[in-house]
Amino acid sequence: MRTKFLYAAYGWLLLSGVLHFGIDVVSQYVRGRRAPGSETTLYYGLNTSYALGQLLVALLALLLLQSGSSVLVSWPGLTLGFGAAAAWLAICFLFIEYPQPRIIMAIFIVLLACAALIA
């Protein structure tokens, strides 16, 4: 049951990373919503690194789960997941002004906590 929650947590992280990149980077760029400049470059860079970080961590975790490795099921793997979620949440509170990434991280933390609490 713990692995099902881990699949759900990291699958959610993968989906949210793809959607965050598509909505906050690609659609903003295609629609031309931001005037060229250093602030726009920082906006695209922050959101791109945020979303791609989520994608890479989620893909690595899903590959480890798929291979049957018990790294993520044990406490060191769960601690690493909580640490990554705390880092993304800190980035959300410090640099991203809209609440959707915070909600996404809260859902990810809840799913990880459910996986951690299952014996």
pLDDT in tens, 90-101: 998 998 888 999
Verdict on whether the full-model pTM lies above 0.85:
yes
Nearest residue to 8 (alpha-carbon basis) of 79, 119, 118, 110 = 110
Checking if the pLDDT of 6 tops 60, the result is yes
Q: Which residue range is the domain that position 108 belongs to?
A: 2-117
What span, in angstroms and rounded, lies between the C-alpha atoms of 62 and 8? 10
The helix, strand and coil proportions of the chain, stated in percent and rounded to the nearest 5, come to 80, 0, 20
Report the number of distinct structural domains present in the chain. 1
Nearest residue to 8 (alpha-carbon basis) of 47, 61, 46, 53 = 61
